[in-house]
Amino acid sequence: MTFRDFDLHPEVAKGVRIAGFKEPSPIQKEAIPVILEGRDLVGQAHTGTGKTAAFGLPILDRIARGEIERALVITPTRELATQVSDELYHLGRFAGIRTLAVYGGVGYGRQIALIHRGVQIVVATPGRLKDLYQKGKIDVFNPEIVVLDEADEMLDMGFLDDVREIFEYIPQNRQTLLFSATMPEPIKELADTLLYDPEFVSVVGEETAKNVDIEQLYYVINENQRDEAIVRLLETENYNKALVFCRMKREVDRLAEHLQALGFNAAGLHGDIDQMERDAIVKSYRRGEIRILIATDVAARGLDIKNVTHVFNYHIPFDPQSYVHRIGRTGRAGKRGRAITLVSTEEFRELQRIRKEVGAQMKLAILRIEGGAIGEEQLELLAQKIDETSIQPLAEQLVERIAPENREAFLTKAISYILDREDFATYERIGYDEEELERMLREYEEEQRKAQSGKKRRRRR
């Protein structure tokens, strides 16, 4: 299937060709025909799956054909509003379709003036949009199609009440489209309230967690190795753009400063950073002027940056769905990506839960750096191996023959020979190996078994 099969308006089709689109993605194949028919739709798809074009192309087509005059897209963040507006502009510019991003943090004047001049597509954040409608500033804007983009993110950010209020100002005879990566109960209830007999389309399943274009690795480390591990990985991985996820804002700031001090081209991004500075950071990252972006989940919501080759989970995410969202930032548009997670021994059980729930195909990795010094654990292991080795008669004869008067020097040379043969003296290792992890996994499974057994006994009572 190609985009020609949709029979889009010639000027919209030209925008598609110039954008370099070849074959429609799964969400585009499923959603575009439904939207062109004028039906309401609930689409389940992650960021980066071509979702913007999935709703944008039929909207542009219907505007270009004169079937509708205006459309509204509601997004959770300013960054996403800007991205969606830009993409829709580039796809529709040959048809003369104008778009506008509306968000807070800037003056009202220009946004209101452009809406009154007849902008066809407004892409807005809930807070600013509600404010404009409440104050009667944009009564002239009556969209025939309304899109709720990243609905689950709006739920997480507490915007659903704002969204419901916005719909009180919008005409009832509209087409409504809702897109969300997940479908928690409040989103289902919202869809039941706002949409009329919608078509349901889902391309989520397990495709992101099992995406063959994303190689998923994890390193099990000691907590005090976390900084060293991320530094070593950034030194050894061949990345174009890297996205590093931290749980907390203070971790973002500290890690960004740490990496910058070591000479890495890095910057942090979180909600406490001034909006203008956030915009500048995102633009620099998008252009490749910043190669490493350290961010919280909230700050990275809706960011769709091309050519992110690596996603690093400096900390394991709080829930399985966040893991899917994070790794979905790489391995897009048929390109390969790597998702690397650092997990402490204490967090290993949580990793097992995430792997099970999302079906992630994650591989254990061990970081071995040439030229590293032998560690205390390796010294103890070597000493234990030597101590447990039985003395052979031939060894006694060799010592007597080669070094009868200088056994200490001979011992030093013999150990040096062993170190060379063992090959671990020339490497620095970060991460537990499979044997160690298997023991931890057995302990974890045994604890799970005991817990289940305890539940059954309590139920019998």
Contact assessment for residue 160 and residue 154, using Cβ atoms and an 8 Å cutoff: yes
pLDDT tens, residue by residue, 26-53: 899 999 999 999 999 999 887 667 889 9
Contact assessment for residue 298 and residue 271, using Cβ atoms and an 8 Å cutoff: yes
Residue 363 — pLDDT band, cuts 50, 70, 90? Answer: confident
Pair type for strands 337-344 and 71-74: unpaired
The residue-averaged pLDDT of 236-249 equals 91
pLDDT, position 202:
86
State how far the Cα of 138 lies from the Cα of 133, in Å rounded to an integer: 6
Paired with 429 in beta bridges are 368
The residue-averaged pLDDT of 252-256 equals 94
Q: Where are the domains of the chain?
A: 3-202, 214-367, 376-425
Q: What is the mean pLDDT of the chain?
A: 85
Of 181, 204, 207, nearest to 361 by C-alpha is: 207
CATH code of 214-367, in short, is: 3.40.50.300
3-state secondary structure the chain: CCHHHHCCCHHHHHHHHHHCCCCCCHHHHHHHHHHHCCCCEEEECCCCCCHHHHHHHHHHHHHHCCCCCCEEEECCCHHHHHHHHHHHHHHHHHHCCCEEEECCCCCCHHHHHHHHCCCCEEEECHHHHHHHHHCCCCCCCCCCEEEECCHHHHHHCCCHHHHHHHHCCCCCCCEEEEEECCCCHHHHHHHHHHCCCCEEEECCCCCCCCCCCEEEEEEEECHHHHHHHHHHHHHHCCCCEEEEECCCHHHHHHHHHHHHHCCCCEEEECCCCCHHHHHHHHHHHHHCCCCEEEECHHHHCCCCCCCEEEEEECCCCCCHHHHHHHHCCCCCCCCCEEEEEEEEHHHHHHHHHHHHHHCCCEEECCEEEECCCCCHHHHHHHHHHHHHCCCCHHHHHHHHHHCCCCHHHHHHHHHHHHHHHHCCCCEEEECCCHHHHHHHHHHHHHHHHHHHHHHHHHHHC
pLDDT tens, residue by residue, 261-304: 999 999 999 878 887 888 889 889 988 899 999 998 876 766 77
Q: 155 or 275, which is more confident?
A: 155
Residue 425 — pLDDT band, cuts 50, 70, 90? Answer: very low
- Residue bearing tokens 């925008």: 15
User: What is the percentage of the chain residues whose pLDDT exceeds 90?
Assistant: 44
CATH of 3-202, one of 3.40.10.10, 3.40.50.300, 3.60.20.10, 3.40.640.10: 3.40.50.300
pLDDT, position 373:
54
pLDDT tens, residue by residue, 160-192: 999 999 999 998 899 999 999 888 899 999 999
Of 71, 88, 196, 38, nearest to 146 by C-alpha is: 71
The residue-averaged pLDDT of 114-119 equals 92
| Residue 454 clears pLDDT 90, i.e. is over it | no
pLDDT, position 211:
59
- Residue bearing tokens 């190996």: 433
pLDDT, position 413:
79
pLDDT, position 206:
46
| Of 30-44, 116-130, 265-279, 384-398, minimum mean pLDDT range | 384-398
Among 12-21, 64-73, 369-378, the range with the most confident prediction by mean pLDDT is 64-73
Residue 455 — pLDDT band, cuts 50, 70, 90? Answer: low
pLDDT, position 409:
79
| Of 47-51, 96-100, 176-180, 231-235, minimum mean pLDDT range | 47-51
Q: CA angle, corner 316, sides to 325 and 442, nearest 5? A: 120
Contact assessment for residue 234 and residue 294, using Cβ atoms and an 8 Å cutoff: no
pLDDT, position 312:
95
Residue 310 — pLDDT band, cuts 50, 70, 90? Answer: very high
Q: 59 or 247, which is more confident?
A: 59
Q: 291 or 404, which is more confident?
A: 291
pLDDT, position 102:
94
| Of 13-17, 202-206, 230-234, 382-386, minimum mean pLDDT range | 202-206
The residue-averaged pLDDT of 121-134 equals 94
| Residue 314 clears pLDDT 90, i.e. is over it | yes
pLDDT, position 279:
83
Contact assessment for residue 304 and residue 47, using Cβ atoms and an 8 Å cutoff: yes
Among 211-220, 294-303, 423-432, the range with the most confident prediction by mean pLDDT is 211-220
Query: pTM of the prediction?
Result: 0.61
pLDDT, position 20:
84
| Residue 207 clears pLDDT 90, i.e. is over it | no
State how far the Cα of 53 lies from the Cα of 178, in Å rounded to an integer: 14
| Residue 426 clears pLDDT 50, i.e. is over it | no
Tokens of 241: 């753009």
State how far the Cα of 115 lies from the Cα of 139, in Å rounded to an integer: 10
